[in-house]
Structure 1
Amino acid sequence: MSDTLTVSAPADFHVHLRQGTFAELVTKHVRQGGFGLAYVMPNLVPPIKNTEQALLYKAQLQAIDPSVDYMMTLYLSPELTPAEIRKAKAAGVAGIKSYPRGVTTNSDGGIESYETYYPVFEVMQEVDMVLNLHGEIPSSASSNTCVLNAEAKFLPHLRALHKAFPRLRIVLEHATTRAAVDCVKELGDTVACTITAHHLALTVDDWAGQSWAFCKPVAKYPDDREALHEVIRQGHPRFFLGSDSAPHPPHKKSNATPSSPCAAGVYTSPILLPLVAHLLEMFGALDKLEAFVSTNGRTFYHKPARDSDKVVLRRTKKVVDEIWTQGDDSVVPFWAGKELEWEIAES
């Protein structure tokens, strides 16, 4: 068993980098965690809804750490027009992110009907821009929907979108269920799926009553987690890492009231590549590490790696820091206080 691993061009195809001084703390963790590409989510306050806002945000991130390749996205909203899609594509914006209304952080402006956006999707298909889907529907007593079945109930929407726009590249984000894995496999080469590091580790028992492991979508049953493990062991080319690393100030994770529930999000950026190596080794997929964290996603997004962009991991015993702090800002990472079997040696 080797004590070192070399990984070519790790790429995180789903990450939250926030804004203001908090962004100054967490953006630097992308590179610290072993990654040189970040596919950046647009659910800021206010959301990133047009090309100018995306380019301004990208410039702000580059000012914090210019060594990372930031791929920018727009928030799917009524203000988004076919003309803006063409403008965004010409400016290098990579994708459009869809949030169903109210299902996760800063999604109050999310969509209620996909059909409304068919003219937008038609142009996205024409210019080859990616549609990123948060794959849940809102909880509802009338439809017997809650966080445990919200993803499965979303899948008919994914199938309908693919049928209507078969050439549109679609990514189902942060899959958590066997049903989602099977659905993506069925739909063909234009439909892909991201998997987070934390969903490879967690099940319902880990977040029920434990705010630090609470995220959206929530982790599901052991068999669902096994489906994620299986598709990575298989080396399926349309499944790849999107960490959904989502930082929140500690008081928003640790405290909850009836009017203010704890924030949804797990933060993995500062330890991401060692964590993924640790987890893949645990379920027998370490030989698929580079495919999962680099090759598969880069192929789908048409983002080839540079030969010089490599990260070396070495086997170790290292306890994850309990907290990262800069100025008045702080964030607690996933796996805090636990031991990892790998660390970054050089990049």
Structure 2
Amino acid sequence: MSFADTLTITAPADFHVHLRQGALSELVTGHVRLGGFTLAYVMPNLTPPIKNTEEALLYKAQLQAIDPVVEYLMTLYLSPELTPNEIRKAKRAGIVGVKSYPRGVTTNSDGGIESYEAYYPIFRAMEEEDMVLNLHGEIPSAPSDPTSNICVLNAEPSFLPHLIKLHAAFPKLRIVLEHATTRAAVECVKNLGDTVACTITAHHLALTVDDWAGQSWHFCKPVAKFPDDRQALREVVKEGHHRFFLGSDSAPHPPTKKATATPSQPCAAGVYTSPILLPLVAHLLESFGSLDKLEGFVSGNGRAFYQRPAKAAAQKTVLRRVGGKKVDAKWAKGDEEVVPFWAEKEIGWEIVPEA
């Protein structure tokens, strides 16, 4: 087997993942390592959301009980209950970041924010404590407002002035614009300082608007955009820009919430990639001539920004090229099941089991 048929990646890290709670968490948490990753940056939008240090530490203990091998980096949900003192307490407890959701834009974001100015004391404390602010970068749609022209296709570009303003107000605050989907977002982040970074998902490297319009399994927030937007994501990955890295936004939902929709229960937003994540990213990067950027994208860039360098004895994940292998149609445990992205499609790489 030639070198071209194998790849060895040091300490892959997923800097945006949803691990849910209860029985669904029991199913999906182990998929982080199954997909080739040893670090998970965990989102706090549970029911109810993770709003303080004690809740974050309890959630971390629950995840560690399922799979103690993965390093879980915990976050808090930006809410009115959060205080500067709680930020300092969270920092001492090892909490890494705070996630901001505009109200109503995605799963479990009903308690999201409507104005950033009210949180400036929080951001100042975060800047002092060197915590990370993670931004879901969309403006909520307002279909009932005849003066509004915001919808899922322009919600991200409409948000970017807020990112610019936050960076100007808190230039030392590390900020991550999550799951970019547009050329405008890529260019905005590139033009800001070294304290601003951006995650890119595997599915946004693959999809455009045509792929989710009428296809519930590809529906997520933010939605995939136009072919030129996808091209911009691919270009910045191919460039190897050090402030762009993988955050999968892997978001599991029961099939009943993805495959069916009613006026009272719309299709759930989320694409699930965790169990195939590293092979999928390798497959996609190879498709646009960027396989040589794989380790930087899935490990080095994000670890540098989050100040989590791989340890000297860090786990090495080995990928090998395969032909004709198809992704499983679903994963199940007990009464819970999830359908992955790329289900029943061929994938060109697989993880070599540890000896």
Alignment partner of 1:342 out of 330, 342, 349: 349
Deviation at 1:259, TM superposition (A): 1.2
Matched residues in 2 for 1:143 and 1:116: separation? Answer: 23
Percent identity between the aligned chains? 78
Contact (CA 8 Å) 1:313, 1:346: kept in 2 or not? no
Alignment partner of 1:330 out of 321, 337, 344: 337
In the alignment, structure 1 residue 145 sits paired with structure 2 residue 168: no
Alignment partner of 1:24 out of 15, 23, 26: 26
Unaligned runs of 5+ in 2: none
Unaligned runs of 5+ in 1: none
Aligned match of 2:317: 311
Deviation at 1:307, TM superposition (A): 3.2
Per-residue CA deviation, residues 157-200 of structure 1 (Å, 9 max, x unaligned), is 00000000000000000000000000000001000000000000
Matched residues in 2 for 1:58 and 1:234: separation? Answer: 35
Per-residue CA deviation, residues 21-67 of structure 1 (Å, 9 max, x unaligned), is 11000000000000000000000000000000000000000000000
Alignment partner of 2:178 out of 167, 173, 177: 173
In the alignment, structure 1 residue 226 sits paired with structure 2 residue 231: yes
Question: What stretches of structure 1 move > 2 A for 4+ residues in a row?
Answer: none
Matched residues in 1 for 2:311 and 2:129: separation? Answer: 25
Structure 1 counterpart of 2:268, one-letter code: A
Aligned match of 2:248: 243
Matched residues in 1 for 2:7 and 2:47: separation? Answer: 39
Contact (CA 8 Å) 1:36, 1:68: kept in 2 or not? yes
Specify the SS of the correspondent of 1:237. coil
**Residue pairs, 1:204-223, within 5 angstroms:** 204-223=209-228
Structure 2 counterpart of 1:333, one-letter code: P
Structure 1 counterpart of 2:92, one-letter code: A
Structure 2 counterpart of 1:257, one-letter code: T
Specify the SS of the correspondent of 2:115. coil
Structure 1 counterpart of 2:116, one-letter code: Y
Matched residues in 1 for 2:112 and 2:74: separation? Answer: 18
Structure 2 counterpart of 1:344, one-letter code: I
Per-residue CA deviation, residues 51-106 of structure 1 (Å, 9 max, x unaligned), is 00000000000000000000000000000000000000000000000000000000
Specify the SS of the correspondent of 1:18. coil
Matched residues in 1 for 2:307 and 2:122: separation? Answer: 21
Deviation at 1:346, TM superposition (A): 3.4
Per-residue CA deviation, residues 273-315 of structure 1 (Å, 9 max, x unaligned), is 0000000000010000000000000000000102331100000
Matched residues in 2 for 1:251 and 1:320: separation? Answer: 20
In the alignment, structure 1 residue 284 sits paired with structure 2 residue 289: yes
**Residue pairs, 1:1-347, within 5 angstroms:** 2-141=4-143, 142-308=147-313, 309-317=315-323, 318-347=325-354
Task: Name the TM-score, length of structure 2 as normaliser.
Answer: 0.97
Deviation at 1:316, TM superposition (A): 0.3
Specify the SS of the correspondent of 1:171. strand
Q: CA RMSD in A?
A: 0.7
Matched residues in 2 for 1:5 and 1:187: separation? Answer: 33
Matched residues in 2 for 1:307 and 1:274: separation? Answer: 24
Specify the SS of the correspondent of 1:295. helix
Residues paired across the two proteins, number:
347
Contact (CA 8 Å) 1:136, 1:153: kept in 2 or not? yes
Per-residue CA deviation, residues 219-248 of structure 1 (Å, 9 max, x unaligned), is 000000000000000000000000000000
Structure 2 counterpart of 1:316, one-letter code: V
